[in-house]
């Protein structure tokens, strides 16, 4: 899909014009749910998920046939501050692993029946060190947003966004702190596994970045403290909304990218659910801020879209029951 914006201002305007769910389809799905051969509420949250999905797809009997997992990769200049346990060249090496089918997300996407796409964003040009200057110029962040927007296949009926980028938990922590407040220690975790000294250094870097770029609106926070892969996820989640394609959010980094939309435009994430609760400590606080309840809690902290990809099967199960079950009348079963 072509992006209908060329500046951050135009992106803000695009967010304000986003469509809502189909209220008629939602009502019809609710009515159908009440007629299925089960006691009311017996399928718990699966019922709510199916009705939510039906509203966004515009039908009371939806199906999930073409889910898409999109991985975005970018490099971060702030890695020069020693915030990661791995060198920046691992980003490109992992992209190659994705492309050859060797990563966890490849296996999870395949298991969920999802098409998987990988987009590298200028890996040879890291963002600027955000403790010294904005991470990206406006042009750079807009290019990343447009890359994410264009990556969404309009034929998809479900979207998961994932990421790869050494140093991106530092960027995500800085975005969360800049938007939601609190101390750097509240948002900064061990990421890829830094030791105590590395965690202290990382926390200091987050605090310095937020102090340097204080009092910005959410999209300016993304520009000043984000990374290209985070901005691309923000763009992809927004594009899915424009096409009424439901989204499953992944972990801490994806949620930081989504937080930008949540705070930039009320209701911008109504088409999105949280796939899982990450082991990265501050993820729960991000989910609370966005009022999202995760589907899974498995102690994952890999990123790559892995937790959200696992959650595709949960949503598929909800839709299969809703659309495939017989009603009491169809089955000849006496209702309550």
Sign for the pseudo-dihedral over CA of 74, 80, 81, 86: positive
The backbone torsions φ and ψ at residue 229, rounded to the nearest 5 degrees and listed phi first, read: -70, -35
- Calculate the dihedral angle through the C-alpha atoms of 203, 204, 209, 214, rounding to the nearest 10 degrees: 90
Known active-site residue 304: yes
On whether the CB atoms of residues 222 and 260 are closer than 8 A, the answer is: yes
Measured CA to CA, the distance from residue 4 to residue 146 in angstroms comes to: 9
The CA-based angle 86-87-93, given to 5 degrees, is 95
What is the token pair recorded at 143?
């290019």
Number of neighbours of residue 48 by Cβ within 10 angstroms: 16
Of the candidates 163, 229, 280, 304, the residue annotated as catalytic is 304
* Residue of 69, 167, 159, 154 lying closest to 123 (CA atoms): 167
- Catalytic residue numbers, as ranges: 304
């Amino acid at each position: 899909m072509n992006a209908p914006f060329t500046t951050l201002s135009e992106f803000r305007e695009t967010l304000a014009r986003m469509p809502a769910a189909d209220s008629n389809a939602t009502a019809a799905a609710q009515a159908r749910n009440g007629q299925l051969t089960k006691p009311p509420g017996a399928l718990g949250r699966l019922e709510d998920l199916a009705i939510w999905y039906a509203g966004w797809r515009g039908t009371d009997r939806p199906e999930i046939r073409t889910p898409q997992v999109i991985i975005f990769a970018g490099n971060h200049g702030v890695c020069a501050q020693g915030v990661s346990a791995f060198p920046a060249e691992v980003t490109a090496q992992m992209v190659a692993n994705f492309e050859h089918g060797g990563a966890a997300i490849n296996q999870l996407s395949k298991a969920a029946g999802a098409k998987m796409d990988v987009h590298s964003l200028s890996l040879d040009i890291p963002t600027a060190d955000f403790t010294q200057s904005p991470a990206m110029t406006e042009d750079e962040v807009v290019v990343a947003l447009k890359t994410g927007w264009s990556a969404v296949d309009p034929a998809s009926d479900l979207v998961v966004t994932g990421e790869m980028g050494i140093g991106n938990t530092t960027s995500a922590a800085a975005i969360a702190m800049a938007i939601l407040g609190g101390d750097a220690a509240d948002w900064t975790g061990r990421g890829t596994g830094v030791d105590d000294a590395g965690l202290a250094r990382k926390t200091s870097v987050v605090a310095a970045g937020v102090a340097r770029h204080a009092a910005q609106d959410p999209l300016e926070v993304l520009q000043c403290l984000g990374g290209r892969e985070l901005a691309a996820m923000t763009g992809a989640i927004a594009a899915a909304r424009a096409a009424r394609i439901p989204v499953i959010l992944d972990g801490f980094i994806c949620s930081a990218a989504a937080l930008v939309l949540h705070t930039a435009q009320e209701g911008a994430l109504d088409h999105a659910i949280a796939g899982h609760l990450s082991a990265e400590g501050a993820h729960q606080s991000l989910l609370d801020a966005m009022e999202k309840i995760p589907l899974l809690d498995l102690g994952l902290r890999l990123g790559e879209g892995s937790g959200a990809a696992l959650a595709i099967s949960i949503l598929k199960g909800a839709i299969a029951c809703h659309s495939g079950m017989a009603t009491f009348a169809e089955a000849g079963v006496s209702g309550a």
